[in-house]
Structures are given as C-alpha cells and as structure tokens.
Amino acid sequence: MTLDTVHRAGQTPGERQPYTELGMKDDEYARVREILGRRPTSSELAIYSVMWSEHCSYKSSKVHLRQFSTKAPKSEALLVGMGENAGVVDIGDGWAATFKIESHNHPSYVEPHQGAATGVGGIVRDIMSMGARPIAVMDSLRFGAADAPDTRRVLPGAVEGISSYGNCLGLPNIGGEVAFDPCYIGNPLVNALCVGLLRKDQIKLATAPGPGNKVVLFGALTGPDGIGGASVLASATFEDESQAKRPSVQVGDPFMEKLLIECCLELFAADVVVGIQDLGAAGVSCATTELAAKGTGGMDVKLDLVPLRDPTLRPEEILMSESQERMMAVVTPEDIPAFTAICNKWDIPVTVIGEVTDTGRLVMTWHGETIVDIPPGTAADEGPVYERPYHEPTGQAALNAAGPDGLPRPTDLRATLLTLLGAPNVASKEWVTSQYDRYVRGNTVLAQPADAGVLRIDEVMDGATPTNRGIALATDGNGRYAKLDPYAGAQLALAEAYRNVAMSGAVPLAVTNCLNFGSPEDPEVMWQFAEATRGLADACRTLGVPVTGGNVSFYNQTGSAAIHPTPVVGVLGVLADVRRRVRHGFPEAGARVVLLGETHAEFGGSTWADVVHGHLGGLPPAADLAAERALAAVMAEAAERGYLSGAHDLSDGGLAVALAEACLASGVGCTVSLPGEDAFTDLFSESSARAVVAVKPEHFDDFADLCARREVPCYGLGVTGGDSLVVEETLEIPIEELRHTHQATLPGIFG
C-alpha cells in the first residue's frame, strides 16, 4: 500500500484522483491544484472535498445567508453571532444562553435510531464548545404520511434515538414539533436544538492562537463511523485494498458524552482551555482547519498519534471519520498536566496530537512522512461560493390562483372540529413526547404540550444567586405555507415561534434556524430558498430579533421531487421571574376568555383545507409582524402584572382547535360566543398574530386597557368552567370526547 505523500504528489501530477466521486466539480478540483501548485495528496483531497461540501461550506447558500447579518437589528444582547459553533445572547444577571438548531435528516432516514441520536449528540457538543453547560434539548420532526410504511419504519426509530440519547445525558426535552406530509416520504426532517448556560465573561471560541500551544484530541476513540457517503473511501478508488464499505451513519455513546460534558465544564472552570472545537461533520479535517484558520494561521499535526478504535484505518479515513463524542482543544504547554489530569479523572482518553504554529500552513505527518501541507483558510473559509440561478417554479402562479374559496364549507362545525382534532398533524403528540424526560434536573417550568418550553436557569449552575430568572424556547415551521409563498412562509414560521415564546410571558430575544430544502442545483428550489431567506431576514429586522446562527440542509428530495420548502425557526426569550410565567391553556374555572388579534377569512394552506379536502393552493395567511410585536408586548406586560391565568396561541386549526387544546390542558371547559357573523371563519381561519387568553376576572378591565394602549384588538368571548367546550349556537363537545379524539390517533397508528 503506497502512502500518498506531498513529495509523491509533486512527482505524479497526472495521477487520476476520484474527486468527482467525492462530490467535487472539475473547476473546484482545478482550484485546489491552483492553491497547492500541484495535485493534492489523497489526504488533502479528503480535506477539501468535505470542507468544500455543501454541508460544511454553505457554498450555495452563503450569498443569501449574508442577509442575516446585513439586515440584522442592532441588539445589545447579542454576544456571539453567526460564524461560531453556536450563537450566544446576554440574558441578564451576568448569565448568557447559547442555542442552535441543526439537521440530521439523511442519516435519520438511513438508520433512524442512530441518525437521530447522533443528531442530538452533535448539537449538544456545539453548545459545549462555547463553554456552556447544556441544559435542555428540543426537536422539530417531519415525516411522510402518518400511516405510510416508510413513516412506520422511520418515526419510531428516530423518536427512540432522540429519547435514549437525551435521557441518558440527563437533559430535559422541553418541546418541538411533529408533523406529517406525503412530501417527506423518503426525506424525513430531524432537526435538533440544544440550549446551554454560561457566564457571559466565560465564552469559549473555536480558535488556535499562540504558537507553541498544544493541540489536544480528547473523548472517544476514532473509528470508521460515518465515513461512508462523504469520505475518501466512498469510491474505493484511492487504493485497490481500501475497504469499500464503511458505516454511513455515526454510532453514538451518550454515556461517553455525559462524561465529556462534565469533563469539559471542569476544564473550563480550571481555565486550561485556550480554544476548543467539537468534532462533528468532517471530523479531524474540520476541527484542525477551522481552529488553525481562526488562530495564528498554522498547525502541525502528527496524524498517527490519533487514538484509534480500528488500527487498520488509513490517514484519509481518520481525517474523514465522524466518530462521535470527540473534542479538540488548544492548550498552553504549562497547562497540559492539569488538562490531562482532569481528563483522566473523568476517564476521558486524551492525546496531544500537534502544535500551533505561525507558518500559515496546516501540516500533517504520518509516521514522519508529510501527507498534508495546505493553507488552512483555503479549506475552512475560502471554498467556492455559488450564485446559483433561480426562478419562480413552473406552476407557482397556478398554485396560488387555485385558492380554497371554491371548497364546500362544512355544515356541521362540531364534526369538522373533531375531524381536525384527530388528524395526525393536530392530534396529541403524547405518544412521542412521553418517551422523553421533560423534567429531569428539576428546572423545567413548562414543557410539551405548552406553546413554549420554559426553564429556570439560576439553579442550574453552582454558586448562582437565586433570582428565578428563566428562558423560554419554541420551534415552528409550516411547509404548506412556504410551498405557497416561501417569503411569507418563512415569516410565518418566525412569527409563530415568536408568538409561542410570548405566550409564556417571555420577551423574545434571538433566533436560530434550520433551513430544509431540495437540491440547490434546481433553479426552482433555489428560488424558494432565496425567497425564504429574504423573508426571514426582513422579519427579523421588523421584529428586532437577530439571527444567531443555524444550519442549511439541501438535497432533501427523491429524484426530481423535492420536499416542501421547510424553514424551521427557533426563538429564545427571557423571563425575569419564572413564577410569573403564563400557564398553558385554561388552568382554572371562572376566568374570562379573551381573543386577541384580528380574524380574516384566510384558509390558504390551512389545516381545514388540507385535512378535510386534501387541498393545497392559494396564498397563506398574511404575516402581520407589527401585530405580532404588539401582541408579544401585551403578553409580557400582562404576565408581569399577573393579569392572566393561561394562554394559547392560534395557529393550526384556528380558534376552534386552540379552544379545544386550551380545555384539554387542565380539563377545564369553557362557554363562549363568537365575535363575528361567520362562525366557520371565526373558528377555522388561521390568521396570524392571534391568541386566546384566560384573564383573571378582577383584572379584566386593566387587561382591556393594556390591549387598547398597545393597539391589540381584544374580544371577550366568555368564561372558563364546566366539563365541555361550548360555542353558543354552534357546538358543544364534552372534554372527554375531545380527549379521546385528540389522544387516540398516534397510538392507533404506531401501537
């Protein structure tokens, strides 16, 4: 077996290399040769092929993602923005929160359990690498039709993977989404979010400063995990002896990750870490190039010192391995003994594999032979940037013209509500969420099925002064809306997540996103992406919330059939005192039921059109961002003043579903009358910027005055109490019937 060294590469310029099999274009390969002044070695080709991949370089999305910075609102709370492993925001009292959402879509289709589990593990390490303690996770999941064989294979495994990994780490899963649509058959979306907590003066960054500082690899041993699709060995053409088949999905070990979390926190507390990076996609290739590029520009690495689980791995395989539970740190020479002692205490393997230099070169050797000699920035930061062509999809105008106005309106609104309440997208997700531990660590204040998850934060860290400060988190997205209008669809996803955070009484502070689309090489998909990013950036500017980071997932399609464009948005908010949070739904009898916001006849992309008629057409509801901001302000002030006993936003299924879910939250019914003359529109429209709240009777006048001052429409509907949902002159349904309909669907499908 011939080792492909830098010297050999210089002597064999015409040797064929499998760059196309690794996803590189002719011009990209030519650019690598131009940078190096020779052909790359097989190890160098491995590095460039993954670092210039869509996943790592954002080469098709970067020109559009820049809007998140150029249009970003000025925010004093933003401490670390896009470009690092995760964004960081100031949440008060000297504390900072770091949060991010990322996709693990394709691995979760190939091997649902491990794909989803390692998605959780990867996002947790991103949070760790900022110097934070991970404190909670969430997930946003989308599958094909609920009763499709593909869904019955993928969903249980993915849920089990998320559950087992998060539960073993001792992290509460406080919310998220589960949605179904035939467009996701063969292309499920598994988007995982993690949030962490740290002192705002203790942020760690992915950088390698200081020539002479040591490069340390610690965590699990390196094996063949994840090499499959993106690796050098996918083509099996580097060497005839190369093993052609490697696992294409990583295998996670949550118990090792739990030790790694505690080890990292002790390393941070001991102040023995100069820079740190987790090893996720592209493994050692990514960690070394990114650390070196953001530091003093150079690094020498002895690749043969990397501890291996499989001693037969070749250099290319080591560089491409995506084995989980690994971190890379930059440590001063004098701190190496203390660093090593802490790792040994936690039974974490630790090895010095290199040294920081100021040469401007990333040099790797294998048993004394140089196999990599590149400028690290060319791999980490200077990959190709494409302005891909895009145009409105053929048939988009016809789709928008085919609105739901001609669909027959129901005559039995009671039956319509029960139909919607039992549909998979509206039905209770308890079958899924009951597999997650929502309350481990004891700081969960609200969790599923509440609109937002809420955590008390000052009891998480040792030495914290009790203040009852908290954070709220929500994720949302609607592929049907984005299919009809990706600009408005992205804004509606942000608006709903923003609104859900506001329902807890929290002040929305910052945004993360996971943008799930088909192939960027399809101009119609690229139009959807361009419109969605433009819409999201514009909405963030209007709402005054910055994008802190996120993820783009392309190529979610089967053949030429792409998924609906699915931007998923996460919003983080702050509560000064979690004891004043607003509870979910109707928690007690005797409260005044109030509808906030304006209702219009907006049914394009609605749950009613989808469930009852299988129809998708027209335009989605208008995104009224000024109204969303005013509604959030009302909720924050009302929570602070103690006016409300409960709340629930209006989204899928409109007021009818919101009232039913509010009754189900605590088993308290209500009797209401509708404010308009069209009961169907009042009950099932999905107009945005609306909520239903339970106002304490003694504060009703004060609350009405608050709404008037904030210019938020306010309609008194009725009162809470009883054991039924009663809409006068329209419908009456006992809570037990609502509960049976709502809870039976997913257990009936998945067992």
143 touches 184 (CB < 8 A): yes
516 known ligand binder: no
CA pair distance 624, 688, nearest whole angstrom: 7
522 known ligand binder: no
CA 211 vs CA 215, 273, 297, 359: distances in Å: 11, 15, 9, 9
560 known ligand binder: no
498 known ligand binder: no
96 touches 195 (CB < 8 A): no
182 touches 286 (CB < 8 A): no
E strands present in 267-349: 275-278, 298-302, 326-331
Q: Pairing mode, if any, of strands 644-649 and 557-558?
A: unpaired
344 known ligand binder: no
390 known ligand binder: no
Instruction: Name the catalytic one among 64, 104, 564, 648.
Output: 104
SS3 121: helix
| Residue located via tokens 């029960």 | 418
187 touches 563 (CB < 8 A): yes
SS3 340: helix
173 touches 136 (CB < 8 A): yes
C-alpha 530: how far from chain center: 19
610 known ligand binder: no
278 known ligand binder: yes
Element (H, E) at 470: strand 470-476
The DSSP call for residue 125 is H
Question: Closest Cα partner for 696 from 685, 704, 687?
Answer: 704
CA 106 vs CA 553, 554, 556: distances in Å: 9, 10, 8
In the chain, the N- to C-terminal Cα span, in Å, equals 52
Amino acid making up residue 223: G
100 known ligand binder: yes
Integer-rounded Cα radius of gyration of the chain: 26
250 known ligand binder: yes
102 known ligand binder: yes
CA pair distance 1, 336, nearest whole angstrom: 36
Residues contacting 414, CB < 8 A, separation 6+: 730, 731, 732, 733
CA pair distance 76, 520, nearest whole angstrom: 35
Concerning whether 391 is annotated as a catalytic residue, the answer is: no
Residues contacting 135, CB < 8 A, separation 6+: 171, 172, 195, 196, 197, 441, 443, 455, 457, 460
187 known ligand binder: no
The DSSP call for residue 393 is P
157 known ligand binder: no
Buried/exposed code over 629-665 (b: 16+ C-beta within 10 A; e: otherwise):
bbbbbbbbebbeeebbbbbbbbbbbbbbbbbbbbbbb
Between helix 625-641 and helix 523-543 the angle, nearest 10°, is 40
Q: Pairing mode, if any, of strands 557-558 and 444-446?
A: unpaired
126 known ligand binder: yes
Concerning whether 600 is annotated as a catalytic residue, the answer is: no
Q: Pairing mode, if any, of strands 566-575 and 470-476?
A: antiparallel
Instruction: Name the catalytic one among 55, 64, 113, 584.
Output: 55
Amino acid making up residue 131: G
CA pair distance 190, 188, nearest whole angstrom: 6
CA pair distance 277, 275, nearest whole angstrom: 7
Residue ranges of the binding site for Mg(2+): 102, 126, 278, 551
Residues belonging to the active site = 55, 104
Residue ranges of the binding site: 58, 100, 102-106, 125-126, 250, 278, 322-324, 513, 550-551, 553
Residue ranges of the binding site for ATP: 58, 100, 513, 550
Residue ranges of the binding site for substrate: 103-106, 125, 250, 322-324, 553
